[in-house]
Chains A and B, each alone.
Chain A
Amino acid sequence: DAGITQSPRHKVTETGTPVTLRCHQTENHRYMYWYRQDPGHGLRLIHYSYGVKDTDKGEVSDGYSVSRSKTEDFLLTLESATSSQTSVYFCATLNAGNYGYTFGSGTRLTVV
C-alpha cells in the first residue's frame, strides 16, 4: 500500500558484502516487522520493532540486524551476505484498526 515503501525493490550483491534494506511508513504505526518469504517456507519473521530503538528477534534472525531511529524508518542489515539470504524481504506494520498487517511491496535480494 501507499503507506509503506521498501527500497530498493531489487538488489544483486556479492557474498560477504553488507547490505541494508529500508522500510519507510507514513502511518505512524508503532509496530514494524521484517519477514523473508521463500518457496516451501512461507513468511518467516526476522526481526520486529515495538518502538523507536526497541527491537527484538524473530525466528530467523541469525545474520541480520535491525535499527529504528525514527518511527517511520525500519532498517534491515545483512552484516555479511550469504547465498542462503537470497530471498524476497517484506516489511509490514501492524494496523491498530483491525489488528492486521499492512505490507510493503517487497525487496528481491539475490546474493551471488
Chain B
Amino acid sequence: EDQVTQSPEALRLQEGESSSLNCSYTVSGLRGLFWYRQDPGKGPEFLFTLYSAGEEKEKERLKATLTKKESFLHITAPKPEDSATYLCAVQANAGNMLTFGGGTRLMVKP
C-alpha cells in the first residue's frame, strides 16, 4: 500500500527565514511525486512533478527535490503570501490515482 507522510504538520516562519518541508513516501514503483499548494477555501493548485531521484524543480522561492525515500520542498526567504497548506502526493507506476499526505500548514509572519 502506498503511503505518504508529511512533516511538520505546521510550521511558523518569520519573513525571510528559510526552511524545508518533508515528504516521506513508500510506493510500489514511483511514476511521479507531486507538490500542491492549497489556500483556505480553495482547491489544491499544482506546483511541481518530480519523476526520479536526484531531480530538482524550482519556481520563485520554492525548490522541490527528490530522493528514493523522500522529497523536500525548500522555501527560500519566504514572504507572507507563501502562507498556505502544502500537499505532497505520489502516483505509482501501476495506478491512475494519487495518494496524498496530510499536508504541512505554513504560516509566514511579516
- The answer to whether B46 and A101 have CB atoms under 8 Å apart is yes
Q: Does B72 contact A (CB under 8 A)?
A: no
Q: Mark A72-112, 1 if CB is under 8 A from B, else 0.
A: 00000000000000000010101100111111111000000
User: What are the residues of chain B within 8 A of A95 when measuring CB–CB?
Assistant: 46
Q: Does A64 contact B (CB under 8 A)?
A: no
CB distance from B88 to the nearest CB of A (A): 10
8 Å CB interface, B95-110 against A: 96-98, 100-103
User: What are the residues of chain A within 8 A of B45 when measuring CB–CB?
Assistant: 1, 103
Q: Does B25 contact A (CB under 8 A)?
A: no
User: What are the residues of chain B within 8 A of A94 when measuring CB–CB?
Assistant: 96-97
User: What are the residues of chain A within 8 A of B34 when measuring CB–CB?
Assistant: 100-101
8 Å CB interface, B35-74 against A: 36, 41-46, 49
- Greatest chain B CB density within 10 A among A43, A45, A103, A106 is at A43
With an 8 Å Cβ cutoff, the count of chain B residues facing the other chain is 21
A41 to B91, CA, bound (A): 19
A92 to B43, CA, bound (A): 9
- Greatest chain B CB density within 10 A among A31, A50, A95, A106 is at A106
- Pick from B43, B102, B103: contact of A105, CB below 8 A: B43
Q: Does B87 contact A (CB under 8 A)?
A: yes
- Pick from A41, A100, A104: contact of B98, CB below 8 A: A100
- The answer to whether A100 and B96 have CB atoms under 8 Å apart is no
A50 to B42, CA, bound (A): 25
Q: Does B79 contact A (CB under 8 A)?
A: no
- Pick from A31, A103, A104, A105: contact of B96, CB below 8 A: A31
- The answer to whether A98 and B32 have CB atoms under 8 Å apart is yes
CB pairs A–B below 8 angstroms (6 shown): A43-B87, A45-B97, A100-B91, A100-B98, A101-B44, A103-B45
